[in-house]
């Protein structure tokens, strides 16, 4: 055999006294085109190595796989055929344009897949956003409804508070009237009870007149206002107070006679801010002004127009008038009063 011969089972080449499988493409035996060339274990043995189709074998320089032994006939020639091995045409390498086209196609496929994924995510976000819009619209509608109901409740509460204030004012007025009426009723009941308990003989002391629940003492001598007041107190009584009488209830002897009697009414100085609505004149430098008071301390709430003609009061023909009482010669008759009942001290 020459440099390369065709042996049994494929293309062969003699190297260093060994015949091994050819690692270059073989036109005669295409299935051995990818068989690698390795060194031989013995110079008298021909080795063939047929790799499995799936994995690619290592390069000849680094392969450690053993050659398959193929013994020559005994006493035979160990040389390979001398005719040269035909060249196997090499496959053309892919052109750069084809590689660029393939890379562009792969990139386009990846971008299409990426766009599809982005589209799915965008649709999911749009659905979530639409759901959020619907929930927001519903919440806004609920808020507006609650606001309207709150305003309506607030207006109704305001009306109820105004009505309550009006009713409270009316109730307070009614309570005051009730207390006033109750006080008058209690006084009337007390007077009636007192009158029923006494007789004409023992209701008033000797020399006193019974009139409308009061015992009256009419003097027969004249005194000053201060002396008349002191005389009534010695009789356990006080100067007459007519604030509960009207013009129709004044005793006849006081309406029809021209006689003048002292009564228990006197002008008194007081701080103007206590009874400013009943001022008799402008307050002085100390803020003091005058008003009329009964001897029991109650205020006379019907002052007359004449303000300068006296500091004490008299009654004549049923009318109350002011009269001077500072001088020792300001003398008049006087009337004392006390409650009707069994004879006893005035309380």
What global pTM score does this model have?
Answer: 0.41
Average pLDDT over residues 167-172: 90
Which tokens is 125 given?
A: 């976000």
Closest CA to 322 of 262, 269, 232: 262
- What does the pLDDT look like over 9-63, one tens digit per residue? 444 444 444 444 444 444 444 444 444 444 444 444 444 444 444 444 444 444 4
- What does the pLDDT look like over 135-146, one tens digit per residue? 999 999 999 888
Cβ atoms within 10 Å, residue 265? 22
Residue 236's pLDDT band (boundaries 50, 70, 90)? Answer: very high
**Cβ pair 31, 49 in contact under 8 A:** no
Average pLDDT over residues 298-307: 68
Cβ atoms within 10 Å, residue 311? 17
Residue 2 clears pLDDT 80, i.e. is over it: no
Which is more confidently placed, 111 or 91? 111
């Amino acid at each position: 055999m020459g440099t390369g011969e065709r042996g049994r089972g494929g293309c062969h080449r003699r190297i260093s006294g060994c015949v091994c499988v050819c690692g270059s493409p073989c036109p005669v035996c295409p299935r051995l085109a990818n068989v690698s060339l390795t060194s031989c274990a013995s110079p008298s043995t021909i080795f063939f190595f047929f790799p499995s189709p799936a994995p690619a074998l290592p390069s000849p320089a680094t392969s450690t796989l053993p050659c398959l032994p193929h013994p020559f006939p005994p006493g035979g020639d160990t040389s390979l055929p001398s005719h040269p091995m035909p060249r196997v045409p090499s496959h053309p390498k892919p052109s750069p344009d084809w590689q660029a086209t393939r890379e562009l196609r792969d990139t386009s496929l990846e971008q299409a897949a990426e766009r599809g994924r982005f589209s799915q995510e965008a649709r999911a976000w749009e659905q979530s956003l639409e759901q959020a819009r619907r929930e927001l619209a519903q919440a806004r509608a609920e808020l507006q409804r609650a606001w309207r109901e709150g305003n309506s409740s607030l207006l109704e509460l305001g009306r109820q508070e105004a009505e309550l204030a009006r009713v409270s004012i009316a109730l307070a007025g009614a309570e005051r009237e009730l207390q006033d009426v109750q006080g008058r009723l209690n006084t009337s009941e007390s007077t009636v009870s007192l009158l029923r308990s006494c007789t004409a003989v023992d209701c008033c002391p000797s020399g006193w007149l019974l009139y409308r629940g009061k015992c009256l003492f009419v003097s027969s001598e004249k005194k000053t206002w201060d002396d008349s007041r002191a005389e009534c107190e010695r009789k356990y009584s006080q100067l007459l107070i007519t604030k509960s009488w009207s013009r129709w209830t004044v005793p006849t002897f006081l309406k029809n006679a021209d006689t003048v009697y002292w009564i228990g009414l006197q002008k008194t100085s007081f701080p103007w801010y206590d009874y400013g609505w009943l001022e008799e004149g402008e307050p002085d430098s100390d803020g003091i002004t005058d008003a009329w008071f009964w001897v029991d301390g109650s205020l006379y709430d019907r002052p007359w127009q004449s303000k300068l003609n006296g500091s004490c009061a008299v009654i004549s023909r049923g009318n109350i008038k002011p009269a001077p009482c500072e001088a020792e010669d300001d003398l008049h008759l006087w009337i004392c009063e006390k409650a009707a009942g069994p004879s006893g001290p005035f309380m």
